[in-house]
Structure 1
Amino acid sequence: MPDTGQKLTLWRAFVPQWAHMPLSGDGAARFGGRWNPVGAPAIYAARELSTAWAEYNQGFVQHPALIAQLELSGARLADLTDRNILAELGVSDAIHKCEWRDAMDRKQVPQTHRLRKSLLKDGWHGVVYPSFMSPGGTCVALWDWNGKGGPRLDVIDPDHRLPKSPASWL
């Protein structure tokens, strides 16, 4: 599991319309995702740029995207790419094949959401998990960021190119 003092570089691909909100988890909260139920904000990012692109497009049509580099520090992330960690948590690597969308569509709680709830209770801020769309790539789902005493997530924008409001889309 990544050390809480370690800085981690992440890549996030998202819909350009939301360029003014690169650290928002509102889209994930609106629709729910692999590691978050509807109503719970989450940031989904990748540890590799190519993985961010593959995950964003999900193997479908190549949609326009904004890709931002992020820096995460102070986060407790359960590394679910490590079989020993999975065993400690009492889950198998089958969790990576969890049909979470299907479960949500049937009004059931996906296995990933149950694990998230348990990890949150134990003080974890998110998980590292293998990419489904980019074999060998890894992703991060973050449930807690930029709150008082929690992990820090920053967008790397040294030239201040990201817009500060949605006005750029009008």
Structure 2
Amino acid sequence: MSADEPVRLWRAYVPRWAHAPLSGDGAARFGGRWNPLGMPTIYATRELSTAWAEYNQGFVQHPALIAQLELRFARLAELTAADGLAAFGLTKDIHRCEWRDALDHSLVPETHRLQAELDAGFDGLVYPSFMSPGGTCVALWRWNTGEGAELKVIDPDGRLPETPASWL
């Protein structure tokens, strides 16, 4: 899937990082379903309600900043439907990968192996939300590098701070 037309995405993230809506450093620091430690990744969704559900993971409702993003020119592996999965030799079992458990046992999760395989040809992937049935998520591991995927935050009134000083 390549998006020449803008694709609207939603991202919920920790308010302390309001100045960095396009940073994937949190995912790099902690790792995630679709990225190993050290790999910056933006996790976003196609629906506002999905962003909220994914951010809170069904637990305590934490304060969040929700930003609308615009994605263009991204090469995304489509993993939401059986035919998309089959194109990569996968089944929907990939979405049930217990990635945290694998990491806890010093194993490489299947989702990380797949990300490494897809990295050469794709900027990210689209996958079904676990926390919001029917919702879709995007994991983007390459953006704003000068070519390929372009990602920008929608902030028409310039309300987002430019530095972390707003939290001091």
Q: When the two structures are superposed, what TM-score results if normalisation uses the length of structure 1?
A: 0.97
Aligned to 2:124: 126
Letter of the structure 2 residue corresponding to residue 144 of structure 1: R
Aligned to 2:73: 74
Q: Report SS of the residue matched to 1:127.
A: strand
Aligned to 1:145: 143
Aligned to 1:32: 31
Aligned to 1:166: 164
Cα shift readout 1:14-57 (whole Å, capped 9, x = no counterpart) = 00000000000000000000000000000000000000000000
Tell me how far apart the structure 2 counterparts of residues 161 and 88 of structure 1 sit (CA, whole Å): 42
Offset, 1:4: 3.4
Check whether the contact 2:75–2:148 (CA below 8 A) recurs between aligned residues: no
Tell me how far apart the structure 1 counterparts of residues 127 and 5 of structure 2 sit (CA, whole Å): 18
Letter of the structure 1 residue corresponding to residue 133 of structure 2: P
Offset, 1:6: 2.7
**Structure-to-structure mapping, 1:52-131, within 5 angstroms:** 52-121=51-120, 123-131=121-129
Offset, 1:137: 0.3
Cα shift readout 1:67-99 (whole Å, capped 9, x = no counterpart) = 000000000001100211211101111000000
Letter of the structure 2 residue corresponding to residue 146 of structure 1: N
Deviates more, 1:65-74 or 1:4-13: 4-13
Identity %: 70
Aligned to 2:155: 157
Aligned length: 168
Q: What value does the CA root-mean-square deviation take over the aligned residues? A: 0.7
Check whether the contact 2:76–2:124 (CA below 8 A) recurs between aligned residues: yes
Tell me how far apart the structure 2 counterparts of residues 99 and 119 of structure 1 sit (CA, whole Å): 19
Tell me how far apart the structure 2 counterparts of residues 4 and 65 of structure 1 sit (CA, whole Å): 28
Tell me how far apart the structure 1 counterparts of residues 16 and 156 of structure 2 sit (CA, whole Å): 20
Give the 4+ runs in structure 1 shifted more than 6 A: none
